[in-house]
């Protein structure tokens, strides 16, 4: 049956009106109608959509109540990585940050965009032609979880953008819970006899990861935008970007400010710190970003953080408690770490029962003993630490802590190198503690990514001596897993499937998964690009290893020492024999005769035949390195259409300039 025009018109009118009222309430914080009047309009729209279901659309305000429960979250690959920020805790670190920025931009003073650092969860929202299509968590920075259904319930997130947005817009920001909503949530929990939440961040995190979006809808989350993942034309400054996002209908913090130089940064930090308790949301510091977007582009990134921004954290929260014991934990690399067992104390938003004492020298320097009253510090997600002991409260007859000479787990000899503060168990993978940590690292998401292999399961596998090395994982079968507690048939099947899936990986992930001391993800990628195969890497001595970009003597010695151990080489051989294979790109041997090999490239401007990612990958495949900023060490700057300041910087420094055709010619000269 055809729908009468006046019905269609009324539905459109109600949607427009409700969207405006949502915007007034959740973004502007300026409601113009009562809750009762809003509810009346909402129910009228619901009734009309129920009577005419063909009129229901995803962007309707009625669709914010939550869809059917999910079975799990799909994975979303971010178009550009969602990087974390470097931290500054002292004013001197902010001064140093400003100095580095000024030197890199070759200017006397820099304009910054400053804003509060929300204590929430970072998410990415993708809009196509103005409509919300995907919402994802930050995840590991490269890949997040698809929580679109849950984010649709957050009324501060527009389902349809206002004004005239670009065809594709990826907005990044923070999902959080206001302090008032948190207090009300816990009041409701108390009334219902439920468990109260520790802090607004935990409550928001739990709400966002509910498999049933209807539960998320009851938690009254909010959202603040602070940037974009895909740049768009017409915006030259970070402050203008936030203004543009506000016009699109997003909430952006009113506490943002443009400041000049390091004095402006520190003044802003003090001003926000003084208002911290009165703000409607939790913050754990402030964020400084170079305001000029071309300056951000020039500064680029280092490892997993941008050079153009820093998070200036507030002073850590501290509390006083008593040391009830000092245990010694053995880590993945055999490091022995003294850990204080504390009388439970609430600090930094959580109840703390353990705090690190770092190493034997630190215990002696601070003179921490069992029975001492101590000050404990926790800032954000940082592991709690013992700051100092309170001398006037020390009980009589306490004894100094002495690090054991034998590993507390396996009894092997403990050794400490002359130039190191850390003492280590000498047993390697033969020590169960190291074995457990090594297996957890091997299976972690950024390594071999074996879903389902958690701490409790690893403990059982090691304690029952079913698994001694990572290679043993690939021999696991249903019969082995059936011996373990709480291992149902389906869970066993899922784990075996995840282990099988992990056999197809990249060389960089494999190198990182081996847990070589001092080798993180970035170094693992450099090693994979340089050597192209695990055999070539294993055969390299410390001298050859130092030819790899950013690998110095300490890292080189760690790698060479790892492969010098016969049992480590045996594990690698067993893993390969079990069927672990690398992708073609990762395992291809690099041609050192290539004109690309060992050269550093910077890309600027739009390319015609290659995407930026494709060009970077092709350069890396031939042993080149891609940098985000131009320096005297740059070999080539590849300039596409409308090149930015990097082009001018290259001309100033006399760096070789090539267009896209020149790059393709270099690549083709040695491509197989």
Which residues are 160's β-sheet partners? 131
pLDDT-based confidence at 586, cuts 50/70/90?
very low
Q: Are 463 and 456 in contact (CB under 8 A)?
A: no
pLDDT in tens, 372-392: 999 998 765 567 889 899 999
pLDDT for the residue numbered 28: 65
Identify whether residues 382 and 353 lie together within a single domain: yes
Closest CA to 155 of 200, 216, 209: 216
**pLDDT tens string 135-147:** 999 887 888 889 9
> Is residue 72 a part of any domain in this protein?
no
Q: Which residue, 185, 196, 223, is CA-closest to 64?
A: 223
Strand pairing category for 350-356 and 336-347: antiparallel
In a shared domain, residues 362 and 271: no
Give the C-alpha distances (Å, rounded to integers) separating 371 from 146, 284, 325, 326, 341.
Answer: 48, 32, 8, 10, 10
Closest residue by Cα to residue 619 from 640, 641, 646, 637? 637
Residue pair 69/46 in contact by the 8 Å Cβ criterion: no
Contact between 492 and 481 (Cβ < 8 Å): yes
Contacts 24+ apart (CB under 8 A), 361-364: 361/421, 362/421, 363/326, 363/338, 363/401, 363/403, 364/400, 364/401
> 79 in a domain, yes or no?
no
Residues linked to residue 342 through DSSP beta bridges, in sequence order: 323
Q: Is 223 helix (H, G, I), strand (E, B) or coil?
A: strand
Q: Is 85 helix (H, G, I), strand (E, B) or coil?
A: coil
Of 502, 522, 556, at which residue does a domain stop?
502
Residue 117 is a catalytic residue: yes
- Give CA–CA dist 364/369, Å, rounded: 9
Beta carbons of 236 and 83 less than 8 angstroms apart: no
Domain endpoint, select from 398, 426, 454: 426
The answer to whether residue 277 sits within a structural domain is yes
For residue 511, give the CATH number of its domain: 1.10.150.20
Largest separation between any pair of C-alpha atoms in the chain: 90
d(CA 263, CA 302): 25
Give the pLDDT band (50/70/90) at residue 295.
Answer: very high
Of 117, 313, 436, 646, the active-site residue reads: 117
Strand partners, 638: 603, 658
Question: Distance between the two ends of the chain, CA-based, in angstroms?
Answer: 63
Q: What is the pLDDT of residue 377?
A: 85
CB 272 within 8 A of CB 263: no
Q: Pick from 409, 426, 443: which residue ends a domain?
A: 426
Give per-residue pLDDT as tens, 501-517: 999 999 999 999 998 98
pLDDT tens, position by position, 159-177: 999 888 889 999 999 999 9
* Domain contains 234: yes
- What is the rounded distance in angstroms from the CA atom of residue 227 to the CA atom of residue 309? 12
Please indicate, yes or no, whether residues 112 and 230 belong to a single structural domain of this protein: yes
CA dihedral 275, 382, 118, 290 (to 10 degrees): 90
What's the Cα-to-Cα distance from 146 to each of 88, 125, 558, rounded to whole Å?
A: 31, 10, 39
Q: What is the mean pLDDT of residues 240-246?
A: 95
pLDDT at 212 over 70: yes
Shared domain for 197 and 279, answered yes or no, is yes
Q: Are residues 184 and 255 in the same domain?
A: yes
Mean confidence (pLDDT) of the chain: 86
**180 and 277 co-located in one domain:** yes
Same domain, 234 and 141: yes
| 663 closest CA partner among 611, 596, 617 | 596
Q: Is the pLDDT of residue 669 over 80?
A: no
382 and 339 inside one domain: yes
Which of 150-164, 295-309, 347-361 is predicted most confidently? 150-164
Place of tokens 């006046």: 6
Question: Considering only CA atoms, which of 434, 448, 465 is closest in space to residue 565?
Answer: 434
What per-residue confidence (pLDDT) applies to 607?
81
Same domain, 178 and 269: yes
Listed in sequence order, the residues at least 6 apart from 636 whose beta carbon sits closer than 8 Å to its beta carbon are 599, 600, 601, 602, 655, 656, 657, 658, 663
Q: For the purposes of burial, counting CB atoms within 10 Å of the CB of 84, is it exposed (0-12), middle (13-18) or buried (19 or more)?
A: middle
Helices (H), 431-552: 432-443, 455-463, 478-482, 489-501, 507-513, 521-531, 534-539, 542-545
Report in angstroms the alpha-carbon separations of 289 from 115, 257, 502.
9, 11, 39
Residue 71 has pLDDT above 60, yes or no: no
CATH number at residue 39: 1.10.287.610
Shared domain for 347 and 283, answered yes or no, is: no
Secondary structure class of 480 (helix, strand, coil): helix
Q: Determine the structural domain holding residue 556 and report its residue range.
A: 507-587
pLDDT tens per residue across span 92-149: 999 999 999 999 999 999 999 999 999 899 999 999 999 999 999 988 788 888 999 9
- Do 487 and 354 fall within a single domain? no
Q: Between 314 and 1, name the one with better pLDDT.
A: 314
């Amino acid at each position: 049956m055809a729908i009468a025009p006046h019905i269609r018109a009324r539905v459109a009118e109600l949607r427009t009106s409700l969207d405006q009222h949502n915007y007034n309430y959740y973004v502007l914080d300026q409601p113009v109608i009562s809750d009762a009047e809003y509810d009346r309009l909402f129910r009228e729209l619901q009734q009309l959509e129920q009577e005419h279901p063909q009129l229901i659309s995803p962007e309707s305000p009625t669709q914010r109540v939550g869809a059917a429960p999910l079975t799990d979250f799909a994975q979303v690959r971010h178009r550009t990585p969602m990087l974390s920020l470097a931290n500054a805790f002292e004013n001197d670190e902010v001064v140093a940050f400003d100095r580095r920025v000024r030197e890199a931009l070759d200017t006397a003073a820099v304009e910054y965009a400053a804003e509060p650092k929300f204590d929430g969860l970072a998410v990415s929202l993708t809009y196509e032609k103005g409509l919300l299509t995907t919402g994802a968590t930050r995840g590991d920075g490269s890949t997040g979880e698809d929580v679109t259904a849950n984010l649709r319930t957050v009324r501060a997130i527009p389902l349809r953008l206002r004004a005239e947005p670009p065809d594709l817009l990826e907005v990044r920001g923070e999902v959080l819970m206001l302090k008032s909503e948190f207090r009300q949530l816990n009041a409701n929990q108390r009334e219902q006899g439920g468990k109260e939440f520790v802090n607004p961040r935990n409550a928001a995190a739990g709400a966002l990861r509910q498999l049933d979006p209807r539960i998320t809808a009851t938690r009254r989350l909010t959202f603040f935008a602070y940037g974009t993942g895909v740049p768009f034309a017409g915006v030259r400054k970070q402050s203008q970007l936030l203004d543009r996002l506000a016009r699109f209908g997003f909430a952006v913090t009113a506490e943002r400010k443009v400041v000049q130089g390091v004095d402006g940064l520190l003044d802003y930090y003090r001003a926000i710190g003084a208002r911290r308790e009165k703000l409607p949301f939790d913050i754990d510091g402030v964020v400084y970003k170079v305001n000029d977007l071309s300056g951000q582009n020039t500064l680029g990134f280092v490892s997993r953080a941008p050079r153009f921004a820093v998070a200036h954290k507030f002073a850590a929260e501290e509390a006083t408690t008593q040391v009830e014991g000092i245990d010694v934990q053995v880590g993945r690399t055999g490091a022995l770490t003294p850990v204080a067992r504390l009388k439970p104390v609430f600090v930094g938003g959580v109840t703390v029962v353990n705090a690190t004492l770092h190493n034997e020298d630190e215990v002696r320097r601070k003179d921490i003993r069992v029975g001492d009253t101590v000050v404990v510090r926790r800032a954000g997600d940082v592991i709690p630490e013992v700051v100092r002991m309170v001398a006037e409260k020390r009980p009589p007859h306490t004894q100094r802590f002495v690090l054991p000479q034998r590993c507390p787990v396996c009894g092997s000899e403990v050794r400490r190198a002359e130039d190191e503060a850390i003492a280590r168990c000498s047993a390697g993978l033969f020590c169960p503690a190291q074995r457990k940590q090594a297996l957890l690292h091997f299976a972690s998401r950024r390594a071999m990514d074996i879903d389902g292999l958690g701490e409790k399961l690893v403990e059982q596998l090691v304690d029952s001596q079913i698994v001694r090395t990572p290679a043993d994982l690939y021999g696991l079968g249903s019969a082995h897993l059936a011996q373990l507690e709480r291992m149902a048939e389906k869970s066993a099947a899922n784990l075996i499937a995840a282990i099988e899936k992990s056999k197809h990986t990249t060389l960089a992930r494999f190198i990182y998964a081996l847990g070589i001391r001092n080798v993180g993800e970035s170094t693992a990628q450099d090693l994979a690009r340089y050597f192209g195969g695990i055999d070539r890497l294993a055969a390299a001595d410390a001298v050859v290893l130092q030819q790899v970009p950013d690998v110095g003597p300490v890292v080189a010695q760690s790698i060479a020492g790892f492969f010098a151990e016969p049992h480590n080489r045996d594990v690698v051989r067993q893993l390969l024999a079990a069927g672990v294979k690398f992708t073609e790109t990762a395992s291809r041997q690099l041609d050192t005769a290539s004109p690309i090999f060992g050269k550093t490239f910077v890309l600027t401007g739009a390319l015609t035949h290659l995407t930026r990612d494709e060009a970077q990958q092709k350069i890396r495949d031939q042993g080149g390195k891609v940098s985000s900023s131009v320096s005297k060490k740059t070999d080539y700057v590849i300039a596409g259409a409308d090149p930015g300041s990097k082009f001018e910087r290259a001309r100033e420094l006399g760096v070789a300039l090539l267009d896209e055709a020149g790059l393709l010619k270099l690549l083709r000269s040695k491509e197989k």
